[in-house]
Structures are given as C-alpha cells and as structure tokens.
Amino acid sequence: MPEPIVSRAESAPIFERLCLIGVGLIGSSIARAAKEKGGIARTIVAHTRRPETLARVRELGFADVVEEDAARAVEGCDGVILCVPVGAYAGVMRQIAPHLAPGCVLSDVGSTKGSVIRDLAPLLPPGVHLVPAHPMAGTEHSGPDAGFASLFEGRYCILTPLPNSDPAAVEKVAELWRRCGSMVERMDAETHDKVVAIVSHLPHLIAFTICGTADDLAEETREAVLKFAASGFRDFTRIAASDVDMWRDIFLNNRDALLEMLARFTEDSHALARAVRWGQAEFIEDRIRRGRRIRRGLIERKQA
C-alpha cells in the first residue's frame, strides 16, 4: 500500500544543503516545491551545464546557489539528486564522486533503475548512500521554466533501494517525496523497469512511431492529418513532443524490458488486426471493453 502523505512544512528540513544536478522540468519542480512547501532543504544548490540555463535559473530565483561546476556544487551537501538524462549519469558521477561528503545521500529521478544502479554503484565513495528514485510525474515540457511546485502532488514516487541501503537514508528520500506531495512505493529495480516499460516507455515508443508514420505520408495527406487531427492523434502528439535526450537515453537504458513489452504488444496488435480483417466483432468488443476497464481503474485511483 502507498505510504500516507504527511504534511510537515513546519518540521526541520530533511537536508541542510540539497544539490540538484540538472534543473529541467523535474529538477526545477523539486526546487520550487522546496521553496513553496518548506521542510525539504535549508539551502538549494542548482547545477546545470549550459551558461544560458544557469543565467535563467538565477533569474527565476528558485535556487539559493547556482553553480556552474558540478564538483563544486556538491561540496558540503548532505543530499544530491541527479536530474539529468540517465545516459549522462556515469559521466556526471565521475565528476562529482570525489567531492561527495561522507554521509551524503545520493538519489536521482531517472525513469530506468537497473541502469542507474549499474552506472552509479561502482563509483560510490565509502560512506555515501545511494537511494535511486523515480517520481512518476511529468509533462511534455522541459527546461527550468517548465517546473511547478505541485507537479508531484498525488503522484507516485517509486524507490528502488539497494539490498544494503542505509534505512535512514532511504527514509530521508522517502520523506522528501512525501513533502513534495507524492505517494511513496518501494520495489526492486528489475520489477520497476518492467512496470515502467509497459505504462510509460512503450506508450512513448508508440507515440513517436505514429507521429513518424504521419510525417512520412505524402505532402497533401500529411497536411490533412494535421488539419483534421482528432483527439486521439493529438494525445499522441503531446506525448511525442517530449524531450529528445531524455527519451533516447530511456530507450537505450531499459532496452531489455522495453523490447519484451514491445514483443507482447506486437503479438496483441497482430491478433486485433486479424480480428478486424476477418470481421471478428466479439474479439474486437472484448479489447475495447478491456481498455474501458483499465481507464475506469485509473479514474478510481485518481491517476487519470
């Protein structure tokens, strides 16, 4: 069962100095939640690579310290969260690992977890605690302007602690997400990656493919597609507008689970295509009813 959301804005902050490596949609939303809700961190440090993004973060004012050097950014921090594409984790970790303070809690927001443990655990300094996390929240927008404090409210955050993870460190990360408004669940990394492959990664793969198919149509047909796009197609375009770097890295770093779910989907889509070809109305109706049942389940869980 999800852990209850606890409002503790008046409590002492979980972290004295929390560093966010990357301040796109998720990173900037964590920073805004920390500022607006309180109880998360006394000081927020933000790091990003691009000079123009650094300047924009300073203008927006959701971080107390804006640091262009990743190594300097993490110095003296008791909490560090990686909010960059998962493909960049190993490179970032090599930069910051020598500068992580003993006792620091290192976490992340990546959509794959097996690759996170693979890339971070071997470089983890003694005394630094790794607690991978995945907030199941987002929009198709990116960059520091895209974030908002309520992004995580009523959404799940999945933690995938290592077998030897320090319980106090795990609880700190869980409490951070509760104070952001999330419902916290814990599972192993392999299970997590299979779950998100079907509920998130495969739908994005399908959306990118459908939009690519539409884009490949003859010019006159493509214009008609865009002009008369129905709500179903518009929903796919919203998903397909997602960040390029992030989704490239997700697909490559959750390859096995994604391909497994894609194979299952391919078999099921072929079965439905045969039913359409041969006029098997009962089979078609069953698939539609199952879709309606899934939708009702989401609505009942307030995840729609």
Domain CATH for 30: 3.40.50.720
Give the mean model confidence (pLDDT) for residues 3-13. 55
The C-alpha atoms of residue 286 and residue 217 are separated, in whole angstroms, by 31
What is the span of the domain harbouring residue 296?
191-300
- Of the residues 119, 152, 187, the one at which a domain ends: 187
Whether 124 and 202 map to the same domain: the answer is no
Whether 45 and 77 map to the same domain: the answer is yes
**10 in a structural domain:** no
The C-alpha atoms of residue 25 and residue 21 are separated, in whole angstroms, by 12
The label of the residue with tokens 């987002």 reads 138
Whether 120 and 137 map to the same domain: the answer is yes
With cut-offs at 50, 70 and 90, classify the pLDDT of residue 216.
confident
Whether 56 and 126 map to the same domain: the answer is yes
Whether 120 and 224 map to the same domain: the answer is no
- CATH number at 287 reads 1.10.3660.10
* Domain tally, the chain: 2
**4 in a structural domain:** no
The label of the residue with tokens 């709500």 reads 231
With cut-offs at 50, 70 and 90, classify the pLDDT of residue 3.
very low
**8 in a structural domain:** no
Whether 20 and 125 map to the same domain: the answer is yes
pLDDT at 256: 95
Phi, psi of 59 (to 5 degrees): -65, -40
Whether 46 and 167 map to the same domain: the answer is yes
Whether 255 and 212 map to the same domain: the answer is yes
**1 in a structural domain:** no
Determine which helix (DSSP H) or strand (DSSP E) holds 207, and give its type and residue range: helix 202-215
Whether 20 and 119 map to the same domain: the answer is yes
Residue 4 confidence (pLDDT) above 60: no
Give the mean model confidence (pLDDT) for residues 122-131. 96
The C-alpha atoms of residue 167 and residue 7 are separated, in whole angstroms, by 21
Whether 123 and 229 map to the same domain: the answer is no
Cβ-count burial 53-72 (b if 16+ within 10 Å, e if not):
bbebbeebebbbebbeebee
- Of the residues 153, 187, 221, the one at which a domain ends: 187
Whether 151 and 43 map to the same domain: the answer is yes
With cut-offs at 50, 70 and 90, classify the pLDDT of residue 1.
very low
Give the mean model confidence (pLDDT) for residues 29-54. 93
The C-alpha atoms of residue 292 and residue 304 are separated, in whole angstroms, by 12
Decide: 98 and 71 in contact? Cβ < 8 Å.
yes
Whether 130 and 210 map to the same domain: the answer is no
